[in-house]
Structure 1
Amino acid sequence: MAAHRKSKQSPLGGSAVRTAATLALASAATATLFEGSGHADPRPTTAQVKAEVDRLYEEAEVATERYNGAKEKADQARTAFDRLRDEAARRTERLNTAREGLGAMAAAQYRSGGLDPAVQLALTSDPDQYLERAALAEKAGERQAAAVTSVRRELAAIRQLRGESAGKLTALRGHETELRRQKAAVVGKLAEARRLLDRLTDEERARYEAAVAARNGSGTSTTRADNTNGSAGSTTRSSAAAGTTGGSSATARADRSSGAGRASVNAPNSRAAAAISFARAQLGKPYVWGATGPSAYDCSGLTQAAWRAAGVTLPRTTYTQINAGQRVSRSQLAPGDLVFFYSGISHVGLYIGGGQMIHAPRPGAPVRVAPIDEMPFAGATRIG
């Protein structure tokens, strides 16, 4: 018979096993809880939020200048395309007129029978009259040849214009694609900055505002990234949409009324004085990306408008404006010079002397007087 062995008993009873399992599960849950909290991203400090928002604003301004450049090129391509299209229409009208003339000549020849000249001379009863008509026919033939030449010339010109128009249309579509891409980049950066700021508590927001005001050397200022739907050429913007508040508006009004930050050195010429005068009149107006006035500006839109008021045409973007005049060093700055910032030449202001400039800073910060030391200096240009 097979041997029967007693099954091995667990040293723990049933209730003990259940108790141990419960403790193990509790221990595991507690460990998971602490582990999870230990790996959770800590809430960013106000200083960290400010640094990140500043970075997003800078990147948005880079994208804004690229948007401005793409828009300028798109506008130029559209103007060229329209000009070529209008010229092609005029040429086509001339071609149709020449064709009608040739058709009339062909009809007249058909009615005359188109007989050989020698046969016509033999059959005529009045040779003198025939010879006179032959001379007229020769002149008509010369006119017909000229008409044919004109038709051929117009056809060739129209083919060339259509080819050029096709090239301009392709370029226009490319610039419009770039325009949409840069607009999306600007909107995305500003929206991200707004989300960061919206996460701040009231106390944190107050500290943030104080830090911004201290950097700008002004009183209370509320900075919001609300211009996410800003567009080129905007002329109407409420204070809330622009992100301005009574404090920042009051500071801007004080700049206008008291002459805060006025140049300690007179402008070197009447044009520079006119540009500075125009810029001062814009103090307090909101920053809107892509805007060139008269109710809102971005940084290069403001400097372009200021020098336009002085009778000088500047290109649209920071990275083209820096090459619009004579480069000068920081130690040689004079009122009216354009001052540029950041390694990518993404921001510009109008120097007014005494280490101060007038500029359109960023969303939520209106056109204001500010020290040129508040941003990393990249270069300066003197407009002739």
Structure 2
Amino acid sequence: MASHRRPKQPSRARVTVLTAAAATAVALSAQVSAHAAPAKPNKDEVKAQVDKLLEEQEQAAERYNGAKERSDQLRKQADQLQDQVARGQGQMTELASGLAAVAGQEYRSGGMDPSMQLMLSTNPDGYLAQASSFEQAASTQADTLKSLKDQQRRLDQQKQEAAAVLAELDRSTQALNDAKTEVQSKLKDAQKLLSQLSAADRAAVMGDRASRSDDRFDLSNLPAPGGYAAVAVDAAMSKRGSAYVWGATGASTFDCSGLMVWAYAKAGVSLPRTSQSQATVGTNVGTNVANAQPGDLVIYHNDAHHVAMYIGNGLVVHAPRTGDVVKVMKADAMPIKTIRRV
């Protein structure tokens, strides 16, 4: 009679191993498929993200400009205070030396009061002659002591002021470094996004030289400004095509506020470094472009992080953003915060 044996059932451990292996194979297959056919980034989405990053980069760049301007001012102030402290210390040393000489003379004379020494002199006729000199010396000594105390107070105050300025300089330097790091981070993120696109799509997002040109505007009949505004407008317009570089104030690269600083400097007018500070100079013209005159500063966005120069006929010249160049655009192409007449 034939023997029928039941097939051996797989152990629980073997079932677990086989199940895990199958799951791993499925996961690996999914990963391979994902790598084999990565999702193509949407050009319009990338453009929106890049535009946002570059706007945030410009905001950070203006914070950097402000921190740098403040750091430069504080460094100059600290140098001046330290020079004053050094001079004050020298004067203190000179005054103290004078008093030390007087004290040494008294010690050598046995500590006797000078007036007593004069009265006990064997030359009575000389007493009257020396008495006047003694009074003058005593007065000089008192004045020297008072000057020494006054100088000590001034020196202590200068030291405190220098310490406070140096502490603020440290804080300003940290803000400067933080803003610089933020700018570089925004640019890096934007570049990472752009690297996902084809060369053609990158050109479409950032704009090629032709699309960045301002040749579409008629600049042949711009109104002629007067005075120093004419010099500033001509200077700014002469830099059309120059590259935007954050933190730059010329003469071949500019950021938005740097172009204004450089152009007006050519006219002998000093402007503050940041667009936020430039939003407070001169006279407020409002927000209506119809009231603007060539040379006026047009400040954009609620936080005033961009600035351009009005050139007439509803147009401005400006340094737009990273990857772009100094060019002309419509004055109302962005939300206007204020127009300032310098």
C-alpha displacement at 1:113, in angstroms? Answer: 3.4
CA distance in structure 2 between the partners assigned to 1:172 and 1:119 by the alignment? 58
CA distance in structure 2 between the partners assigned to 1:120 and 1:159 by the alignment? 39
C-alpha displacement at 1:333, in angstroms? Answer: 1.4
Q: Which residue does the alignment assign to 1:237?
A: none
C-alpha displacement at 1:167, in angstroms? Answer: 0.5
Say if 1:285 and 1:367, in contact at 8 Å, map to a contact too: yes
CA distance in structure 2 between the partners assigned to 1:135 and 1:41 by the alignment? 104
> Map of 1:69-218 to 2, 5 A cutoff?
69-116=66-113, 120=117, 123-209=120-206, 212=207
1:133 to 1:356, Cα distance in 2 relative to 1, 3 A: same
Aligned residue pair count: 329
Letter in 1 for 2:52: R
C-alpha displacement at 1:117, in angstroms? Answer: 5.6
The answer to whether 1:324 aligns with 2:315 is no
Q: Deviations over 1:146-180 (max 9, x none)?
A: 11111111111110000011100110000000000
Letter in 1 for 2:274: T
1:205 to 1:114, Cα distance in 2 relative to 1, 3 A: closer
1:262 to 1:193, Cα distance in 2 relative to 1, 3 A: farther
SS, match of residue 292 in structure 1: coil
Higher mean displacement: 99-108 or 296-305: 99-108
TM-score (normalised: structure 2): 0.85
C-alpha displacement at 1:42, in angstroms? Answer: 4.3
C-alpha displacement at 1:379, in angstroms? Answer: 2.6
The answer to whether 1:305 aligns with 2:302 is no
1:361 to 1:136, Cα distance in 2 relative to 1, 3 A: same
Q: Which residue does the alignment assign to 1:219?
A: 210
C-alpha displacement at 1:79, in angstroms? Answer: 1.2
Say if 2:257 and 2:307, in contact at 8 Å, map to a contact too: yes
1:41 to 1:340, Cα distance in 2 relative to 1, 3 A: farther
C-alpha displacement at 1:299, in angstroms? Answer: 0.4
The answer to whether 1:294 aligns with 2:291 is no
C-alpha displacement at 1:308, in angstroms? Answer: 1.8
Say if 2:257 and 2:306, in contact at 8 Å, map to a contact too: yes
Task: Specify every segment of 5 or more residues in structure 1 that has no aligned partner in the other structure, as ranges.
Answer: 1-6, 13-17, 222-250
Say if 2:89 and 2:155, in contact at 8 Å, map to a contact too: yes
Q: Which residue does the alignment assign to 1:354?
A: 313
CA distance in structure 1 between the partners assigned to 2:107 and 2:27 by the alignment? 108
Say if 2:59 and 2:305, in contact at 8 Å, map to a contact too: yes
CA distance in structure 2 between the partners assigned to 1:358 and 1:203 by the alignment? 28
Q: Deviations over 1:250-278 (max 9, x none)?
A: x58x79xxx953563221x3111111011
Letter in 1 for 2:252: S
SS, match of residue 345 in structure 1: coil
Say if 2:284 and 2:338, in contact at 8 Å, map to a contact too: yes
1:197 to 1:128, Cα distance in 2 relative to 1, 3 A: same
Q: Which residue does the alignment assign to 1:241?
A: none
CA distance in structure 2 between the partners assigned to 1:98 and 1:350 by the alignment? 58
Q: Which residue does the alignment assign to 1:234?
A: none
SS, match of residue 380 in structure 1: strand
CA RMSD after TM alignment: 3.3
C-alpha displacement at 1:305, in angstroms? Answer: 1.4
> Map of 1:371-382 to 2, 5 A cutoff?
371-382=330-341
Say if 1:340 and 1:379, in contact at 8 Å, map to a contact too: yes
Q: Give aligned-pair identity as a percent.
A: 38
1:300 to 1:206, Cα distance in 2 relative to 1, 3 A: closer
Say if 1:260 and 1:369, in contact at 8 Å, map to a contact too: no
* Partner residue of 1:65 out of 62, 67, 70: 62
1:116 to 1:338, Cα distance in 2 relative to 1, 3 A: closer
Task: Specify every segment of 5 or more residues in structure 2 that has no aligned partner in the other structure, as ranges.
Answer: 10-14
* Partner residue of 1:365 out of 318, 324, 327: 324
C-alpha displacement at 1:307, in angstroms? Answer: 1.5
Q: Which residue does the alignment assign to 1:261?
A: 219
CA distance in structure 1 between the partners assigned to 2:73 and 2:153 by the alignment? 25
Q: Which residue does the alignment assign to 1:280?
A: 237
C-alpha displacement at 1:208, in angstroms? Answer: 2.8
Letter in 1 for 2:293: A
SS, match of residue 374 in structure 1: coil
TM-score (normalised: structure 1): 0.76
Letter in 2 for 1:270: G
CA distance in structure 2 between the partners assigned to 1:81 and 1:179 by the alignment? 17
